[in-house]
Structure 1
Amino acid sequence: MMRKLRLKDLDSVEVASGSPLPGVKPQQLDELIRIPKETIEILKNQVFGFDTFFVTSQDPYEGGVLFKGNLRGQAATSYEKIAKRMQDKFGDAYKLFLLVNPEDDKPVAVVVPRKTLQPETTAVPEWFAAGAFGLVTAFTLLLRNVPALQSNLLSTFDNLDLLKDGLPGALVTALLLGAHELGHILVAKSTGIKLGVPYFVPSWQIGSFGTITRIINIVPKREDLLKVATAGPLAGFSLGLVLLLLGFIVPPNDGIGVLVDASVFHESFLAGGIAKLVLGNVLKEGSTISVNPLVLWAWAGLLINAINSIPAGELDGGRICFAIWGRKASSRFTAASIALLGLSSLFNDVAFYWVVLIFFLQRGPIAPLSEEITDPDEKYIALGVLVLALGLLVCLPYPFPFTDEAITSPFL
């Protein structure tokens, strides 16, 4: 991101117009933005200063100028002072970023013309594409809860009446997806972050992989990003855990429920632990037990939230890692997560589809924030770590054996 453009004449710096922000529309290469020396001098001597950011050198940057120097005082306070002075001198002509140089981990200031930060436009309206994805997701949510149709997808159109049998499960999963998105929306509104139209991602295996939701404006600071990224999974996990517990406690309406092998609860540390805690000795190795279908529906919702909490790219988990530990650590988490998912895909088709989705659509990088130096408050860090931990507990297997009284030994 900190790539330099070497130009000989600094008296009148011409920089090929582009943007330091991934996901925004670059200008044509033949469009040049001229940054006069006078403007750079005003920035150095009147906008920056001894009390905020003492400039020691500057380099031409894509669409602007990168200033190196020494940060004075608290980053958040210095940013506000610099931004106000720049507003007084130049109005809305320029945008300030206070970032960390990945080369030496020292603070740098980047000033770019706002005209280089135009959002990227798409050929297809967002609402139309999102609606199409939503319809397909509604179908896969219904289909997932009708086992009779899963073995022969072509028969679905001849047996559309069977899809109504999947409606209760689809509604529960949709409720969890909705809670997740509502958490993002409410917190984003309170922090001034603008979200794009959510794209629901269909899945044949679990009904949906969740949503892809873009952030379409510049996030002020890491704490704001952490609040928004954490809110969705927290809402989804909270509701999912309540429904999972209700599923174990409340008997099924028909008195029969769904028959599952006890070994299925070894697939999730969280689900297996709760099952063992609630069911006790009823949960036995090698036995078949009857559970309320709400257990499976809530579990699917928890899995969707856990997948979105993977610490990679622009997933909620990736944004949480970025907000807590910074850009460099976030890149390492992303690389490690993609590698682990790649290995898991050899044994699990859900992991295969998800690693493809992350690699092509969600691997990032996360667009620079206005001020990336200040760490979030500890209480928000704790919530972010909690989300990452819950996601891990949902995905990790339950390693401990259940009581094996149902197993009969041939030697007895």
Structure 2
Amino acid sequence: MIIDWIILLLMALFTYLIVRRSVTGVTTTPVWLLWLVLMMPPFVWSLWILVYSAKQLPPIELLIGMSILSIFFYLKLHQKGRKNLTPTQKEPSPAVESLPVKEVASPPLPLRPIDKTEETKLKNCFPWSIFYVNNIEYRPQAIICRGQLREKSPSQAYDRIKENVRLEFGDRFLVLFQEDMTGKPFFALVPNTQAAANKRKNDKLTRPGLALGLLIATIYTTTLVGVGIANTNNIEALRSNPEILLSGLPYGISLMTILGIHELGHYLTARYYKIRATLPYFIPFPLFLGTFGAFIQMRSPVPNRKALFDVSIAGPLAGFVVTLPLLIWGLAHSTVVSLPEKAEQVLNPNALDPNYSLLLALLSKLTLGIQLSADSGIDLHPVAVAGLLGAIATALNLIPVGQLDGGHIIHAMFGQRNGIAIGQISRFLILGLALLQPGFWIWAIILFFMPVADEPALNDISELDNKRDILGILAMALLVIIILPMPEQLAQLLN
């Protein structure tokens, strides 16, 4: 019960930070009110458990109804606040709104960041044979150059215009190549307010001491949780015999390896594209899983959709390459047990129903063979627990919504407008999946808190090649086989 309340508290804080980031400057509706509306479903869930205990789950109809009402009132309040914006607070263009605030908002910028003489120089940066400029709009955060793209290759057009702007204005502007809501390409010049700051802070970017300290702390917390997974009784004897801590290493090291390789995939690919990024930072937590994962921060814009795709997909694929053999090894050393008549929890490591996931069921049958039958569960080895969590983390990251890795991948494959539409559909599909897999309820609700639009690449027009499109489709297929339960007909066929 204490862990449940801790998770609720962390989710509430996480939700508030996301709402504050996504609505600041876009609506006049108070952040706390929007946050309260979005937290209605988890609050009702928690109140139900407090009254009726965790053994009696709330009715599905109540959860669906509260989720629909929460989303409805959030959209209504958000839209009402947008209508109350003053004329000086009009919604910026998609290119400007999607950029990180820290890149464009400080210090305050004049409405016209160039004079008449410089405007002539700016027009000369756009050869008519490359991009014919029809109109220049001045926004508080950008100079919008609209016109007609004449160059057949968007990538070559962007490189030519970017180089012309650099020759005329140095590193004064970031050059963005975007699509408006009608699908027409335009250029946006955003004042590069962090160019000098980035040079001064270059040595402090990685902060290896902090990264190492968090790594050591997270190894300890995951090992501590691993002791309980290996044998619950060991936790009580740990104070008198510290050597018992070694029994938690298989789980702790396995989980840390999966998470670390995932983040290193992002980090090394970002470095390959010369994107400034921090080292992976782990988040230690002495309860639950022993950690809340790891993350890196990218401190410079992504140059194009190719780089966005590669950086985004490198993490899940690298993590899964490590997860798969660990999960197979762990399943091979697990024990087949009988399933309890009534499931105590969704993912019970002491009697796991392998049909929870199509991938898990296939791997379980592959490794355990005839030992596994329709009414059998699996008492997971600690390494298998870590592998299962790694597979779940891979799937959650691949969900094509907003700033998740899957959201970036879909954006890179289909463009930002189509990516937003796919993200909206994915939210409701995961909500529907939660009817089959109760463990997805919390995540389905969290997805509705996330903005569906992620940050655009500087060149957001140039499309991917066929190889990357195929790889992206395979990544989405991997998501499907992890999160979908085993079909009953296939389960009967495999016994």
Asked if structure 1 preserves the Cα contact closer than 8 Å seen for 2:337 and 2:378, the reply is: yes
SS in 2 for 1:35: coil
Matched residue type, 2:391? L
Deviation at 1:270, TM superposition (A): 0.6
2:475 is the alignment partner of 1:387: yes
Computed over aligned residues only, the root mean square deviation of the Cα atoms, in angstroms, reads 4.0
For the 8 Å contact 1:98–1:109, the answer to whether it is kept is yes
| One-letter amino acid of the structure 2 residue matched with residue 284 of structure 1 | S
The 10-residue stretch of structure 1 (86-95 or 289-298) with the greater mean CA deviation from structure 2: 289-298
Verify the 8 A CA contact 2:229 2:248 in the aligned structure 1.
no
Deviates more, 1:297-306 or 1:143-152: 143-152
**Structure 1 residue 180: Cα displacement:** 1.1
Separation of aligned partners in 2, 1:20 and 1:90: 24
Matched, 1:192 2:274: yes
Aligned residue type for 2:282: F
Which digits, 9 at most, give the CA deviation of each residue in 1:229-280, with x for residues without a partner?
Answer: 111111111121122233345xx4xxxx445447611011111012223433
1:165 lines up with 2:247 in the alignment: yes
1:135-162 Cα deviation digits (max 9, x unpaired): 664455335434479999x979968945
Q: What letter matches 2:398 in structure 1?
A: S
Q: Which runs of 5+ in 1 are unaligned?
A: 8-17, 407-412
Provide the residue aligned with 1:352 in structure 2: 442
Query: Are 2:145 and 1:58 equivalent residues in the alignment?
Result: no
User: Counterpart of 2:466?
Assistant: 378
Contact 2:177 2:186 in 1 (8 A): yes
Conservation of the 8 A alpha-carbon contact between 2:353 and 2:377: no
Q: Alpha-carbon deviation of 1:225? A: 1.0
Could you tell me which amino acid in structure 1 is paired with residue 295 of structure 2? I
> When the two structures are superposed, what TM-score results if normalisation uses the length of structure 2?
0.66
Is the 8 Å Cα contact of residues 209 and 307 (structure 1) preserved in structure 2?
no
- More helix as a share of residues: 2
8 Å Cα contact 2:319/2:390 also seen in 1? yes
Deviation, structure 1 residue 186 = 2.0
Residue type of the alignment partner of 2:130:
T
* Cα distance in 1 between the residues matched to 2:493 and 2:159: 64
1:141 equivalent in structure 2: 222
Kindly provide the amino acid, as one letter, of the partner of residue 423 in structure 2. T
Pick aligned residue for 2:329 from 220, 229, 246: 246
Paired letter, 2:164? R
**Residue of structure 2 in register with 1:282 after alignment:** 371
Change (3 A) 1:236 1:149: closer
Would you say the 8 A contact 2:283–2:292 is kept in 1? yes
Unaligned runs of at least 5 residues, structure 2: 1-21, 27-85, 89-95, 340-351
Deviations, residues 346-396 of structure 1 (Å, cap 9, x unaligned) = 86456516853x666x64643231211111111122222222221221121
Q: CA contact under 8 A between 1:241 and 1:298: conserved in structure 2?
A: yes
> Equivalent residue of 1:313, what SS?
coil
**C-alpha distance in 1, partners of 2:167/2:405?**
36
Report the CA distance shift for 1:144/1:23 in structure 2 as closer, same or farther (over 3 A): farther
Structure 2 distance, partners of 1:6, 1:199, is: 42
Contact 1:20 1:62 survives alignment (8 Å): no
Match in the other structure for 2:383: 294
Correspondence 1:233 to 2:316: yes
Contact 2:132/2:147 (CA < 8 Å) preserved in 1?
A: yes
Distance across 1 between alignment mates of 2:479 and 2:454:
21
Compute the displacement of 1:31 (Å).
Answer: 5.8
Report the Cα distance in structure 2 between the residues aligned to 1:365 and 1:157, rounded to whole angstroms.
47
Is residue 331 from structure 1 mapped to residue 420 from structure 2 by the alignment? yes
Question: Which SS does the other structure have where 1:145 is aligned?
Answer: helix
Query: Residue type of the partner of 1:169?
Result: Y
Take 1:160 and 1:33, find their aligned partners in 2: how far apart are those partners? Answer: 70
Mean alpha-carbon deviation: is it higher for 198-207 or for 282-291?
198-207
- Which residue of structure 1 lines up, in the alignment, with residue 178 of structure 2? 99
Higher relative contact order (CA 8 A, sep 6+): 1
| 1:402/1:115 CA distance change after superposition, 3 Å | closer
Show the 5 A alignment for 1:117-132.
Answer: none
Structure 1 length-normalised TM = 0.78
Percent identity (aligned): 28
Letter of the aligned partner of 1:396 in structure 2? L
1:312 maps to 401
